[in-house]
Amino acid sequence: MTEQRRPLWLHVGCSKTGTSSLQAGLWMSVEALAAAGVGLPYVGRPAHFTGLLRPLGWRPVAGFDGEHRPRRLQQVPATLRDTAGDRLLVSNEDLAEVRPQDVDAVAALADEAGVDLHLVLTVRDWAQQLPSDYQQFLKHRLGDAYLDFLDAVRERRGPWAEQFWARQDPIDILDRWGRAVDPSRTHVIVVPSYSQDPEGVFNLMGEVVGFPPDVVKRPKGSVNASFGVVESEVFRRVNLALGDRLPDYKNDYSEAVRWPFAHGVLARSASPKLTLPPEHLGWVQDHARRTVETVRERGYVVHGDLEALVPTDEAARPLPPLDEAAVAEASITALANYVSRGRP
């Protein structure tokens, strides 16, 4: 009799779909998940980076643009085999951006470990994703104005737009991972808006993987910084003013800019939210309808309301005029916060 292989649930994104909160909860709940039969081979972002992403050629900001490191990749099957549990769960949104050769490598490593690969993709409508990912890109040194960024994404022009499509277009992601996982083992979770259902991503992930959602602790407060229109503009102008200074992203820029700005230097949501302007609603809705149709045609397993991927007309709202006095005030406040951080 052939021994049944354990499932490995691979949650690959998309980013900005509640992944940070979900992962923080998973990593705080390792023992409770283990008692429910779910093993986490990698706990914490550093463990994912060193154990899986970097061996696949991943680098901060640049993504998967390097060579595979075969010796380090050969540690992956042992890690999977040594993790106890009826089923395994790996969650990292950077895996949405993998290349075809990376998919092939992961599939081969999973097979060597004796586990069956199952894919989980969390998605939200682009009326939420476009402003959210723009703010994420600011932490990666983006200097483009928000409206210029939206135009570039619509026209699929330039590296930032290319990265957005690679990590946010469900069909592109599913196409790449489809080399290794067929539709019957591919689960698409439509994550409800956090303001409407803060428990949604936890409940739906539990439904997919097979664990009671209440075994996962909920992190307190916001895990990922969200900025308003004014604060986003301050961040953008700082990136522009830096130019080519702080060239080492991990050791220079992250330490001096990203982490301080994301953790208290810039006020969170002090000004109106970034929204999808009405002039961009049409093409976003058209793309969403094509996505919904393709997901249905291919027979992926869907959790949540697939139609929610199509933004309603009410989801688009004009941006408020940018007030230079407000930008100046937010900049001065941020500077004061920066120089006083860590002091009583």
Could you give the CA distance from residue 46 to residue 329 in angstroms, rounded to a whole number? 36
**Is residue 2 predicted with pLDDT exceeding 60?**
no
**Is residue 343 predicted with pLDDT exceeding 90?**
no
Q: Name the pTM for this structure.
A: 0.94
- pLDDT band at residue 344 under the 50/70/90 scheme: low
Among 121-125, 207-211, 263-267, 286-290, the least confident range: 263-267
Tell me the C-alpha to C-alpha distance, in Å, between residue 294 and each of 183, 250, 298.
Answer: 12, 38, 6
- Tokens 């993504």 sit on residue: 63
**What are the tens digits of pLDDT across the range 59-73?**
988 899 999 999 999
Tokens of 99: 């290349």
In 3D space, the residue among 259, 271, 40 whose CA is nearest the CA of residue 146 turns out to be 271
Looking at residue 221, what is its pLDDT? 66
Could you give the CA distance from residue 337 to residue 329 in angstroms, rounded to a whole number? 12
Tell me the C-alpha to C-alpha distance, in Å, between residue 111 and each of 72, 76, 103, 317.
Answer: 17, 11, 12, 48
What are the sequence ranges of the domains in the chain? 6-128+168-222+278-311, 229-273+314-341
Asked if 222 contacts 194 with a C-beta cutoff of 8 angstroms, the reply is no
Half-sphere exposure of 197 (CA within 13 A, CB side): 14
**What are the tens digits of pLDDT across the range 133-167?**
999 999 999 999 999 999 999 999 999 999 999 99
Looking at residue 269, what is its pLDDT? 67
**What are the tens digits of pLDDT across the range 231-264?**
999 999 999 999 999 999 989 999 999 999 998 8
More confident residue, 222 or 325: 325
**What are the tens digits of pLDDT across the range 104-115?**
999 999 999 999
- pLDDT band at residue 1 under the 50/70/90 scheme: very low
- pLDDT band at residue 9 under the 50/70/90 scheme: very high
Q: Which CATH code of 3.30.420.40, 3.10.20.30, 3.60.15.10, 3.40.50.300 fits the domain covering 6-128+168-222+278-311?
A: 3.40.50.300
Looking at residue 97, what is its pLDDT? 97
Tokens of 257: 């800019």
Q: What angle do CA 310, 316, 319 make, to 5 degrees?
A: 150
Could you give the CA distance from residue 6 to residue 117 in angstroms, rounded to a whole number? 9
Among 2-6, 83-87, 200-204, 238-242, the least confident range: 2-6
Specify the amino acid at residue 114. G
In 3D space, the residue among 59, 56, 139 whose CA is nearest the CA of residue 101 turns out to be 56
Please state, for a pLDDT cut of 70, what percent of the chain lies above it: 97
Specify the amino acid at residue 322. L
Could you give the CA distance from residue 211 to residue 206 in angstroms, rounded to a whole number? 5
Q: Which residues contact 59 (CB under 8 A, 6 or more apart)?
A: 65, 66
Specify the amino acid at residue 233. E
**What are the tens digits of pLDDT across the range 190-222?**
999 887 888 999 999 999 999 999 999 999 866
**What are the tens digits of pLDDT across the range 29-42?**
999 999 999 999 99
Average pLDDT, the chain: 95
Read off the DSSP letter of residue 298. Answer: H
Asked if 305 contacts 190 with a C-beta cutoff of 8 angstroms, the reply is yes
Looking at residue 341, what is its pLDDT? 84
Backbone angles phi, psi at 154, to 5 degrees: -60, -40
Specify the amino acid at residue 161. A
Q: Is 166 exposed, middle or buried (0-12, 13-18, 19+ CB in 10 A)?
A: middle
**What are the tens digits of pLDDT across the range 47-57?**
999 999 999 99
Could you give the CA distance from residue 114 to residue 125 in angstroms, rounded to a whole number? 36
**What are the tens digits of pLDDT across the range 89-102?**
999 999 999 999 99
